[in-house]
Structure 1
Amino acid sequence: MRFSDLLDRTEAKELTQEAASELLGISVRTFQRWAERFEAEGDDGLVDRRMGRRSPRRAPAEELERMLGLFRDKYADFTVKHFHEQLQKRHGYVLGYTVTKLALHAAGLVRKAAKRSAHRKKRPRRPLRGMLLHQDGSRHAWIEGLPAMDLIVTMDDATSEIYSMFLVEEEGTASTFRALGEVIGERGLFCALYTDRGSHYFYTPKAGEKVSKTQQTQVGRALSHLGIEHIAACSPEARGRSERMFGTLQGRLPKDLRLAGIRTVEAANAWLKAHYIAEHNAAFAIQAEQQGTAFVADRHEAWRETLCVIEERTVGNDNTIAWSGRRLQLPESWLRPHFVKAVVRVHEYPDDTVNVFLGPHRLARFTADGQQISPDATKHGCVLGAVKDKPLRARKRASLTAPARAAVETTRVGAEKRASSRTKKPTRRANLEAISVA
């Protein structure tokens, strides 16, 4: 009825054939064919002539049955794609992948794939530098002739600018502290760090599930002390920016190292810091959405005593502590005659040196092989930030002896020593003389 009405309107010149075919949702050529059949056969000419006829391109039923039989007998554990490849390679199969998959679905031999979730949009960048930093490692044969090793990269989310990059044998706590130290020492404290869920970043009670919010690793403890939020990525897709950046580096960096004649890790790290980082940022970094920075200067340099491995040890009867399979001998100190049974705090820095603290007081420094460093050597920095990490029980035990109390009294700001006549207790002879005088 609609076609008949539109045909009458086209014959009356009210509509063009193009407009009529658009209203019917067909092409102009189809409208013309329908008009010819309607004039010749009336309403019967508009009946769909495909009804009851098989398509000449329909897949042969015998071939489909043979395919289904092969799947049941020999390839039941194959994916459809893998099965289709084997059919073509071994059984002279010529039908396409789609018709094969649909036939397997219709026969109930293969389940339909679950419907995909909604399209994920790329996460917008943070507007300011220093609001979010990415840190990750990529294992690859970076230097020609040397085995694969990890490249640790710390980059800004707002600009994709690389702040730190170096090679290590294996990614871990020490490499994380080294990278964070380079960034914070040069630019200051930042707002948040985005990493994977590696065991040195987070403690995961059960593999594949959420990370613990109460039990922290050494890295988690350090970031919490510095006020930096630690964000865990749950999939490689969530770290898309760093993953794409590593794809670029794997394609370019080994070639650049070869052209520069780099053959050792030490030379590579020096060259990366002196040359490559600036060249990479000039080529690939973008402008931040907003001007300014979210980095904050750490004026007291608390990061120096925070970005390190911190553990407690109890001093043994021989005035030594156990650390990394060796005994570290504590030297004499004006604080106490000895430190037997005292709970001390051990700091191991990214350069493998070790400091031993009792409260805010540094008792000794040792090299990586356990040799004591002279007291007048260069200090690692301010220890005021380390006081905050000291457990309550360590503070209590550190003040049990008279020398320790005296040390605290002498360093108290603004305190004045009382006159000797007011602090000394009168002796028995002085009391007797006072009585006789009275």
Structure 2
Amino acid sequence: MIIMDSQSQLTVDVIAKVAQGKISILNASKLLNKSRRTIERYLSRYKKDGIRFVVHGNTGRAPANKIPGTLKRQVQSLIKEKYYDFNLQHLADMLEVVESIQVKRETLRSWAHDIHHVKRAKHRRSKVRRRRERMESAGLMLQMDGSPHLWFGDNKSCLITIIDDATSDIHAEFFPSETTVGCMKVMKAYIKKRGLFKTLYVDRAGIFGGPKRCNFSQMQRACKELGIEIIFANSPQGKGRVERAFDTFQDRLVPELRLAEIADMDSANDYLQNVFIPDYWLPKLTVNAKNIRSEFKPVPKYIDLDAICIQKEYRKIRRDHTFSFSNTMYTIDSPLRHSIVNQKVEIRKQLDGDFAAYFADRKLAISEIKEPSKLTEYGEEVQRKLDAIKLAEALGNLSEAARISGCSRESIYNNRRLLETQGPLALKRMYGIPRHTNRIDQDTEDKIITLTLEKPHLTQIHISGEMMKRYNISISHSTIRNIWVREKLNTKVLRIERAEALEKTP
């Protein structure tokens, strides 16, 4: 187990990024305020020893003036049996005079604590950590975090803050909770005000690409597109600049919001950004960086912040140039010279909730496909036919509706004629009507279902082989698949549940 202070944690994080090729040695020397030679030595020791390179060589070694364990046990025995009612200073004096044992008072205190002789304090002191110096230049490293608290009103809200480590320049905004949208909005606003910065120091929350979302973090994706490196802290003390900022906000901002009788989020954000930060924070808490040269860079013209600081998702284009998003089907109306079937369309969700579809960085014109209303009183079979008829009426194209619904044009035409003449019940398939000539007989279908429930773990191909071995019946795996879909056995979970239900049935 390795215990590190905030400076050691930052050193490990930066050197790990250098070893991965994500940060150059020059930038690492700026971040750690070390020479290039020191960074090279750190890197060499990191490749050899891992994160233990940050531990001093004397760590774990017994000091030369360590008191023997036998003496400690002797004194503890004397405390229990002879000097149990002495205070620590009196005990030290008596040991020196009577027992010829010279031990300092604070050493005695620790030994007495080990045997529970001295009552411990109710609140222990926090561990002392070495103060880490600020970054030398503005824009070299920014820290971001969110603080849920009862800031105003009767409900908790979250203050998301981004602060420059070198100057304490800050931007903050209230949100209902700490979300990706909120963090992106705060980062976007700060970049528009100051420019692009080098690194972002954050905790290991999933929003920033921590262990829970290491492969699908929107913030991590946006920072990568902007050229900003994310460094993860191993403890809250590692990013103490933003943590202390929250202490200041909670100490000063909360009573000011109460005195101003502010109880809604819009008014709180207005007061924070137009009164508190300009009048108190900027003139009294911001400092000048050691290095006058700023590391902030203007946003290049080819970078569109509105297209980066958003949430992006991808959907696969179907054969009819449609895609599904948020449980809704959309069709592409933009004229296309070539088919984009099986390609991925990029869904860009704006911070205000709207979204747009892009392909090859080109915005597509899309329209929602309104599904017919569900009428469950006639059963699923009739409902599918009614949906296909209404889809044909909505699109005004029988062929397109047939392709989307997966049936023939003739079926839709015949079903529409039956609906107009005899009503919805005429669409229900009645027993006694001859089966389709291409459909297998009912006895064979029952055998397939029985075999499926006997061995629910088998695949379509295995069931086809078992049918040949057991009944000498040749059935294609696609036919078995169609039967499974019709009987709602198309997944292994459904087949196992049906089989278990049959076993429980007496």
Find the aligned partners of 1:276 and 1:107 in 2 and give their Cα distance.
Answer: 50
Contact 2:144 2:202 in 1 (8 A): yes
Contact 1:64 1:103 in 2 (8 A): no
Partner residue of 2:158?
A: 150
Contact 1:220 1:230 in 2 (8 A): yes
Larger Rg: 1
Partner residue of 1:311?
A: 313
Contact 2:202 2:208 in 1 (8 A): yes
Q: SS at the partner of 2:269?
A: helix
Partner AA of 2:295 in structure 1: A
Find the aligned partners of 1:230 and 1:248 in 2 and give their Cα distance.
Answer: 25
Deviation at 1:347, TM superposition (A): 1.0
1:366-385 → structure 2 map (5 Å cutoff): none
Deviation at 1:344, TM superposition (A): 0.5
Matched, 1:182 2:189: yes
For residue 128 of structure 1, the aligned residue among 134, 137, 142 is: 137
Which whole-Å deviations, capped at 9, do the CAs of 1:387-425 have from their partners, x for residues lacking one? xxxxxxxxxxxxxxxxxxxxxxxxxxxxxxxxxxxxxxx
Deviation at 1:125, TM superposition (A): 1.2
| TM-score normalised over the length of structure 2 | 0.47
Partner AA of 2:358 in structure 1: F
Unaligned runs of 5+ in 1: 1-57, 66-95, 109-117, 206-210, 371-438
Partner AA of 1:311 in structure 2: E
Find the aligned partners of 2:236 and 2:367 in 1 and give their Cα distance.
Answer: 40
Partner residue of 1:137?
A: 146
Q: SS at the partner of 1:152?
A: strand
Partner residue of 1:289?
A: 290
Deviation at 1:268, TM superposition (A): 1.1
Partner residue of 2:81?
A: 61
Matched, 1:352 2:356: no
Unaligned runs of 5+ in 2: 1-77, 86-104, 118-126, 371-506
Partner residue of 2:236?
A: 236
1:91-106 → structure 2 map (5 Å cutoff): 102-103=111-112, 105=114
Which whole-Å deviations, capped at 9, do the CAs of 1:372-399 have from their partners, x for residues lacking one? xxxxxxxxxxxxxxxxxxxxxxxxxxxx
Partner AA of 1:308 in structure 2: I
Partner AA of 2:184 in structure 1: F
Find the aligned partners of 2:355 and 2:240 in 1 and give their Cα distance.
Answer: 37
Q: SS at the partner of 1:102?
A: helix
Deviation at 1:266, TM superposition (A): 1.3
Partner AA of 2:261 in structure 1: G
Matched, 1:255 2:255: yes
Deviation at 1:340, TM superposition (A): 5.2
Which whole-Å deviations, capped at 9, do the CAs of 1:13-39 have from their partners, x for residues lacking one? xxxxxxxxxxxxxxxxxxxxxxxxxxx
1:6-405 → structure 2 map (5 Å cutoff): 61=81, 64=84, 102-103=111-112, 105=114, 120-143=129-152, 145-162=153-170, 164-204=171-211, 215=215, 217-279=217-279, 280-300=281-301, 301-316=303-318, 319-323=321-325, 325-336=326-337, 341-364=342-365
Contact 1:353 1:366 in 2 (8 A): no
Partner AA of 2:160 in structure 1: I
Contact 1:197 1:234 in 2 (8 A): yes
Partner AA of 1:154 in structure 2: I
Which whole-Å deviations, capped at 9, do the CAs of 1:227-255 have from their partners, x for residues lacking one? 11111111011111111111111011111
Q: SS at the partner of 1:261?
A: coil
Deviation at 1:129, TM superposition (A): 1.4
Tell me how large the CA RMSD over aligned residues is: 3.5
Find the aligned partners of 2:367 and 2:242 in 1 and give their Cα distance.
Answer: 37
Contact 1:203 1:216 in 2 (8 A): no
Find the aligned partners of 1:326 and 1:202 in 2 and give their Cα distance.
Answer: 26
Which range moves more in the overlay, 332-341 or 250-259? Answer: 332-341
Q: SS at the partner of 2:294?
A: coil
Q: Relative to structure 1, is the Cα distance of residues 366 and 219 closer, same or farther in structure 2, using a 3 angstrom cutoff?
A: farther
Q: Relative to structure 1, is the Cα distance of residues 330 and 277 closer, same or farther in structure 2, using a 3 angstrom cutoff?
A: farther
Contact 2:333 2:367 in 1 (8 A): no
Partner AA of 1:102 in structure 2: W
Partner AA of 1:354 in structure 2: F
Deviation at 1:185, TM superposition (A): 1.7
Partner residue of 2:468?
A: none
Q: Relative to structure 1, is the Cα distance of residues 315 and 194 closer, same or farther in structure 2, using a 3 angstrom cutoff?
A: same
Find the aligned partners of 1:129 and 1:261 in 2 and give their Cα distance.
Answer: 36
Which whole-Å deviations, capped at 9, do the CAs of 1:66-120 have from their partners, x for residues lacking one? xxxxxxxxxxxxxxxxxxxxxxxxxxxxxx9996863564699xxxxxxxxx974
Greater relative contact order: 1 or 2 (C-alpha under 8 angstroms, separation 6 or more)? 1
Deviation at 1:320, TM superposition (A): 3.9
Q: Relative to structure 1, is the Cα distance of residues 119 and 64 closer, same or farther in structure 2, using a 3 angstrom cutoff?
A: closer
Q: Which structure has greater helix proportion?
A: 2
Partner AA of 2:308 in structure 1: T
Deviation at 1:63, TM superposition (A): 8.1
Which whole-Å deviations, capped at 9, do the CAs of 1:240-296 have from their partners, x for residues lacking one? 111111111101111111222212001111222222221211121111112232111
Contact 2:334 2:364 in 1 (8 A): yes
Find the aligned partners of 2:173 and 2:366 in 1 and give their Cα distance.
Answer: 27
Which range moves more in the overlay, 249-258 or 274-283? Answer: 274-283
Q: SS at the partner of 1:135?
A: strand
